[in-house]
Amino acid sequence: MSFYAFEVRTTHRNEFVEVTAKLQVALKESGVTEGLCCVYVPHTTAGVCINEVADPTVSRDIQTHLTQVVPARGDYRHLEGNADAHIKSALIGTSLFIPVKDGKLMLGTWQGVFFCEFDGPRTRQLYVKVLAG
C-alpha cells in the first residue's frame, strides 16, 4: 500500500510540527526505492513546508514573520475570526513533492518537513502518497 494518512495534533494557534520521520516510515513501508513522495494537507487553515530542522529558531522565525505580515486581527471580511489562517495557508501551500532515491527522501542536509498549523489547536490529517517511477 502506498497511501498513508497520519494524524497531527497541535497545541497552539500557530505551530510547526516536524513530520519528516512519519514520511520516512511511510516511504519504508511502501517499498518504493525510486520515485516521488507526495504530501498533502486537506485543510484550508494549515499547510506543509520544507525548511531547516537543525535549528528550531528557524521555524519560530517563520511563524513570527508570517504573523507580522498577516496579523490575527485585520481588515478581513471572513467572519469566522480565522482569515489570517487562510491567508497563511495560501502563502505556505498545502502540498509537496519530494524526490525519492535509494529508498530515501532527497532532502538536503538541514532540511525537514513541517506540518504548519495556523488555526489550532486541532487534530489534523496529513496524507502521503508514494509513487514509484
The SS3 assignment for 110 reads coil
Cell of residue 25, nine digits: 516510515
* Backbone dihedral angles phi then psi of residue 25, each to the nearest 5 degrees: -65, -45
9-67 tens-digit pLDDT: 999 999 999 999 999 999 999 999 999 999 999 999 999 999 999 999 999 999 999 99
75-127 tens-digit pLDDT: 999 989 999 999 999 999 999 999 999 999 999 999 999 999 999 999 999 99
pLDDT at 129: 97
pLDDT at 79: 87
pLDDT at 1: 59
- Is the pLDDT at 70 greater than 80? The verdict is yes
Give one word for 43, left, alpha or beta, with left for phi > 0 and alpha for psi -120 to 50.
beta
What the chain holds in terms of domains, given with CATH numbers, is 3-132 (2.60.120.460)
* Reported pTM: 0.95
Q: 45 with 13: CB under 8 angstroms?
A: no
pLDDT at 97: 98
Q: Which amino acid is at 129?
A: K
Cell of residue 66, nine digits: 508570517
Could you write out the DSSP letters of every residue in 28-95? HHHT-SSEEEEEE---TTEEEEEEE-S-HHHHHHHHHHHHHHS-SSSS---TTS-HHHHHHHHHH-SE
